[in-house]
Amino acid sequence: MIPMIVLATGNQNKVREFREILADFPVRIASLGDFPKIPEALEDGATFEENAYKKALHTAKILGLPAIADDSGLCVDALGGEPGIFSARYAGEGATDDDNCRKLLRELAETANRKAHFACAISIAVPSGPALTYEAVCEGEILREKRGASGFGYDPLFWFPALGKSFAELTPEEKNRVSHRGKALVELRQEIDKVIKWLGQRLAEEKPPKPDHHQFTDDWSER
């Protein structure tokens, strides 16, 4: 039986990247789009790793299924590592990608040091708590204006010197190969057999109770 792992994100760009990178492995990737009534996890951790774990465990506990989550963001040297874990809401709650990019350009307007890196932590959790973590970074620089029409988030402003392109100018294949999320997922891929075995052992040993779905409109207990 092919194991199911729920990808704990509503970001369809992330869902696509995860599915592309793990496409040829014996894992069924579901997403929060398959379980639309789940309340959002509270992302109040101090690091990418803490927030990834919180999201994965939150989803695993509610569904009674193993879950995978990532937390990632842009860390700019001249800003002391900001926006960091606040990357998605750098310009405030409900900010769009354009809002965040505009704020970043304003903050760096007079700054010569444009060095930055993307960071990513991926956590795979089972309902009772144990988890595996994979982390990676991608070094680059912040441009003075947007370049490229692909990608999302800060991709149009993130210059990747090794390929001479912004992240928004990379093909999906190029980005999956060099990005922070792509590199973390490559580490996961290299251990996929171990991960599947670990999941099987944890679920068999712990036998978590059937989750209570009565608080939600949908009942997933038979899925």
Write the CATH number for 82: 3.90.950.10
Residue 222 is assigned to a structural domain of this protein: no
Residue 223 is assigned to a structural domain of this protein: no
pTM score: 0.82
Least confident of 12-26, 109-123, 183-197: 12-26
Cβ atoms of residues 196 and 124 within 8 Å:
no
Catalytic residue status for 193: no
Residue 192 is assigned to a structural domain of this protein: yes
Residue 47 is assigned to a structural domain of this protein: yes
pLDDT at 207 (0 to 100): 58
Q: Which residues form the domain of 92?
A: 4-206
- Which residue in the list 24, 34, 44, 71 is annotated as catalytic? 71
63 pLDDT higher than 50: yes
Residue 217 is assigned to a structural domain of this protein: no
Rounded average pLDDT over 87-98 = 94
Structure-token pair, residue 43: 């992302």
Q: Tell me the pLDDT tens digit for each residue of 119-166.
A: 999 999 999 898 999 999 999 999 999 999 988 999 999 999 999 999
**152 backbone dihedrals φ, ψ, rounded to 5°:** -160, 175
pLDDT at 139 (0 to 100): 98
Residue 195 is assigned to a structural domain of this protein: yes
The sign of the dihedral angle between the CA atoms of 74, 186, 152, 4 is negative
- Give the up-direction half-sphere exposure of residue 129: CA atoms within 13 A in the CB hemisphere: 0
Residue 221 is assigned to a structural domain of this protein: no
pLDDT at 223 (0 to 100): 45
Residue 200 is assigned to a structural domain of this protein: yes
Q: Tell me the pLDDT tens digit for each residue of 24-33.
A: 777 788 888 8
How many domains is the chain built from? 1
173 pLDDT higher than 60: yes
Rounded average pLDDT over 20-41 = 82
